[in-house]
Amino acid sequence: MVLRTTPKSKQSGEMDLIINLLMNPLQKIYLQALINQSHQESSQQVKQEEYCQKENVQYLQKQQLLQIIQQCQTQNQPTQQVSKPSTLIEVQNQVTSYFQQIILQKQTINLTNVLEVQLPYFMIIMSNLIIYGLENCQADKQIVADLVASYKDNPLKISMSYSLFQTVALLFRSEVIIYDQSTKYLANFLLFRDDFCDIFFKALYSYKISQGQTVSQQIGFTQIHQMIKKQQDEVWTTFTFKMLSQQQQKLSKDQFLLQFNQYTQQLNNFFNKSNLIMDLVAQSVKQTAKLHNDQIFQEYLLIMGSFKATTQDFLKRATQLFFEETQELDLLQFSSNTIKVHKQMNSQILFMLPMLLQLESQYLEHIIKNGFSEMQLKNSSNYYLKMIEKLKNKCVYNGEEECNCKKCQCIRRNRNSAKESQKKKREALEKIGPLQDEFNKLQKKVKHLETENQYMTTLILEVFKHPSVEKIASQFLEPLAKIIADSESMEEC
């Protein structure tokens, strides 16, 4: 039997060879997962359509109705055979593959700004990156031209599939994008971090139907922009609800407890490890004044301090306030209860992730606005660095069993020691109890005898004052004085 290698398998073999030669094992696993995800999105479009059909049934019915109307209008016209147009997800897959090749081959991307709109700094670079990918990928040229024109006119129309978003984040973390001197800071930007980009996508994605009824999960620039600007209060509430409920219509009590604990762990890791603002605070101490910003540093300290002050008691109280009358919440109930929780408990922990994203974006804008000139430092960055380091040593779990850090272990040992000490005191009191009762009885007897002695002494003195006894008193006083003296000497012994 002769085995023949298909072009697809040959291409896969060449890809594996490039991966083995150019990347370390961790990068291989991560990038291979992205490549597999890209292939799966193309092959699983039918499954995605079936999965999303229930939620989009009204939209599909309207589309079908429009098609029927169009067919009725053109039923007397001759039909022409046309080729099936490429869908948005197929174009995105081409861009994803192109970016993955850049990462594999360790190339760099030189971007120039082709936009004439005002957007946050990181969104300007993302928009130019997506346009750059479209112009250089192997997708249909006409579709690419239409998309590029649309995105240049309004970048908020840009959307990304899961694999494309993950690949874009990896591009920033790999620091292969060259735009200006501040682009390097995006490698640690919250939206692109490998421990948070999944969270943002799963909380912000929506289902998008393109030509051919292809359904896909897309994260749009509009949603990201709304998170930064927060022109409406419900933007952050909706994000938090979708994050905790995993995009379900209802949030159950058990789901809230599970997701809130994971959310706490992720934020704890964020504050305790390297992050954009903390790194820039450290750099501002040693390098340039352009990195310093009192307002941002103070706000970061407030967010970090508020989080570190949150313990498991907060979760118990918040759960009671959220679910006092029901076992599950919809978005409207969650929104009203969130306001109540924040007011009564004086904590913004549920909004900390979007607050940090907004703060990092503001910090990048500050760096861009402040320019790149090197200046001598005369600021209080060292104070903020010390305070951040001090807060890092405080664990939000405060000795709870969920955490095994050194701080919590120490707190648990101290608590156990205190409990053991209290236990010994209780045991000692239990043993002393019977002896204490006997001692109290003896004290009562002594007091009774002292009272009787005092009465007898008074009586004797009164007797000796009588005229008939006074004459013979001398005969009794000397022996009595001796008895008293002997008794006093015995008491001293």
Greatest distance between any 2 Cα atoms in the chain: 159
**Average confidence score pLDDT of the chain:** 76
- Residue 290: what residue type? K
How far apart CA 2 and CA 111 sit, in angstroms, is: 49
What is the pairing mode between strands 214-220 and 177-178? unpaired
Q: Enumerate long-range contacts of 396-403, CB under 8 Å, 24 or more apart.
A: 396/264, 396/268, 396/307, 396/308, 396/310, 396/311, 397/268, 397/311, 397/312, 398/311, 398/312, 400/311, 400/312, 402/261, 402/312, 403/268
Cα-based distances in Å from 78 to 73, 83, 161: 12, 16, 38
Q: Three-state secondary structure along the chain?
A: CCCCCCHHHHHHHHHHHHHHHHCCHHHHHHHHHHHHHHHHHHHCHHHHHHHHCCCCHHHHHHHHHHHHHHHHHCCCCCCCCCCCCCCHHHHHHHHHHHHHHHHHCCCCEECCCCCCCCCCHHHHHHHHHHHHHHHHCCCCHHHHHHHHHHHHHCHHHCEECHHHHHHHHHHHHHCCEECCCCHHHHHHCHHHCCCCHHHHHHHHCEEEEEHHHEEEEEEEHHHHHHHHHCCCCHHHHHHHHHHHHCCCCCEEHHHHHHHHHHHHHHHHHHHHCCCHHHHHHHHHHHCCHHHCCHHHHHHHHHHHHHHHCCCHHHHHHHHHHHCCCCCEECHHHHHHHHHHHHHHHCCCHHHHHHHHHHHHHHHHHHHHHHCCCCCCCCCCHHHHHHHHHHHHCCCCCCCCCCCCCHHHHHHHHHHHHHHHHHHHHHHHHHHHHHHHHHHHHHHHHHHHHHHHHHHHHHHHHHHHCCHHHHCCHHHHHHHHHHHHHHHHHHHHC
Strand partners, 216: 208
208 within 8 A of 218, measured Cβ to Cβ = yes
What pLDDT was estimated at residue 200? Answer: 94
Cβ 151 vs Cβ 157: under 8 Å: yes
Q: Tokens in use for 188?
A: 């640690």
Nearest to 335 by CA among 245, 236, 431: 236
**Cα torsion angle, 153, 155, 159, 162, sign:** positive
In this prediction, the residues of the chain whose per-residue pLDDT falls under 70 are 1-34, 36-86, 210-213, 284-293, 311-312, 371-385, 392-394, 396-398, 402, 433, 461, 463-493
Q: Is the dihedral of CA 310, 312, 317, 320 positive or negative?
A: positive
pLDDT at residue 404 in the model? 74
Q: Both tokens of residue 163?
A: 């694999």
Q: What is the pLDDT of residue 415?
A: 82
Nearest CA to 92 out of 146, 126, 130 is that of 130
Between CA 217 and CA 220 the distance in angstroms is 10
Going by their DSSP bridges, the two strands 109-110 and 177-178 should be labelled as parallel
Distance CA 362, CA 368 (A): 10
All residues at 6 or more sequence positions from 254 whose CB lies less than 8 Å from its CB, including other chains = none
Q: Are 64 and 133 a contacting pair, CB within 8 Å? A: no
Would the CA dihedral through 41, 45, 46, 48 be positive or negative?
positive
The pLDDT score that the predictor gives to residue 439 is 79
